[in-house]
Amino acid sequence: MNTPLLEVSELRKHFPIKGAFGRTAGAVKAVDSVSFTLQRGTTLGLVGESGCGKSTTGKVLMRLLDPTSGSIKLDGQEISSFKGKELNAFRRRVQMVFQNPASSLNPRMSIGAAIASPMVEQGIRPPGGVTARVHDLMDRVGLRPEHANRFPHEFSGGQRQRIGIARALALDPDVVICDEPVSALDVSVQAQVVNLLKDIQRDTGISYIFIAHDLAVVKHMADEVAVMYLGKIMEQGPNKRIFADPRHPYTRALLSAVPSVDLDAALTERIRLGGDLPSPSNPPSGCVFRTRCPAHALLPATQQSRCASEVPAGEVACHFPAAPLAVPAARG
């Protein structure tokens, strides 16, 4: 097998909590021992609910945050300790598209200048000049090149997201990390942007890390899917397998919670999770999902103690993936 484009292993990002007199009182384990690989020309979808660590993972990959420990390899080269010039060169190859196109574009900068800024910043003069390249990029993402002198407020949300995509593509990166790129958009416009991202991938062979909370969008975008919960990956695998045959109780609960438009398919399996997310500064021991797990309550005591003491690993991070799930509690 080829070297994967991106190989992440045992990645951790802990944010220290400061106690009295500057002592460290603990840590928020935002990302805890995350491993995955990304093959060239494919898309990895990172899904999970708010606070699961998916955005932090994206920021660490981009080296906007320094990892606490673990390794990130791009084309086999360890990049987690890059500094200065090396880091700058690395950023040419990994770019990012943000969730909110209104706040990720400088309102006083024309969109042409915004799209050109990565090239200016990196001191790159493309053949044919920067302006021609900007026009190319705008054309590529479905904007009219003659609008290059306009400002972000003159564009709609969907168009602004196209500007963000054009800017991310300016340096011809190998990987684009898309952090919730369509969640601020209306459905009809969201579909335009999803299709655009897929077309760009088909034409250029670019790879994406696609971070989203919307499972249906991830199903349409990703080749591989990793489901995160409380800083850990609960289940990962090929898109088809995850959506057709989810094995981890959390994935199953997450999928069954999405309201379906299929009126006749209802009532197959409705799993309801009780309670709220535990605090990431004090996660449950062993399996972090056990406190809300619909299978856990039905397990015999000996098996429950294993969930509490041993951290599950593997593609399906669950000790007893075949265990029956508890029936949802009565309504109301």
* Residues in 286-315 that interact with other proteins by CB under 8 A: none
144 binds other proteins (CB under 8 A): no
Told to check if 158 binds other proteins by CB under 8 A, we report yes
Does 213 contact other proteins by CB under 8 A?
A: yes
Q: Compute and round to an integer the Cα radius of gyration of the chain.
A: 21
Closer residue to other proteins in complex, CB, 79/165: 165
Q: Is residue 191 a contact point for other proteins (CB under 8 A)?
A: yes
Over the range 21-55, which residues count as b (16 or more CB within 10 Å of their CB) and which as e?
eeeeeebbbbbbbbebbbbeebbbbbbbbebbbbb
Q: Which residue from 42, 159, 236, 251 is in contact with other proteins, where contact means CB under 8 A?
A: 159
- Among candidates 226, 281, 276, which has minimal Cα distance to 36? 226
Question: According to the binding rule CB under 8 A, does residue 259 interact with other proteins?
Answer: yes
| Closest distance of CB 196 from other proteins, Å | 9
Contacts (Cβ under 8 Å, ≥6 apart) of 36: 8, 44, 224, 226, 233, 236
Least Cβ distance, residue 175 to other proteins (angstroms): 21
Q: Of 88 and 195, which has the nearer Cβ to other proteins?
A: 195
107 touches other proteins (CB under 8 A)? no
Least distance from C-beta 109 to other proteins, angstroms? 22
- The type of residue at 215 is L
Please, which residue, 124 or 189, has the CB nearer to other proteins? 189
Query: Total number of residues binding other proteins (CB under 8 A)?
Result: 44
Among positions 194, 298, 311, 325, the unique one binding other proteins when judged by CB under 8 A: 194
Q: How far is the C-alpha of 145 from the C-alpha of 262, rounded, in Å? A: 42
Considering only residues 50, 76, 203, 322, which one is a binding residue for other proteins as defined by CB under 8 A?
50
Compute the distance between CA of residue 174 and CA of residue 61 in angstroms, rounded to an integer.
Answer: 13
Q: How far is the CB of 99 from other proteins (least distance, A)?
A: 14
Instruction: Judge whether 183 and 99 are in contact, CB under 8 Å.
Output: yes
How many Å separate Cα 19 from the centre of its chain?
31
Sign of CA dihedral 125, 131, 132, 134: positive
Query: Residue 92 forms beta bridges with which residues?
Result: none
Binding site for other proteins (CB under 8 A): 49-50, 156-159, 186-192, 194-195, 198, 213-217, 219-220, 243, 253-263, 265-266, 272-274, 276-277, 331-332
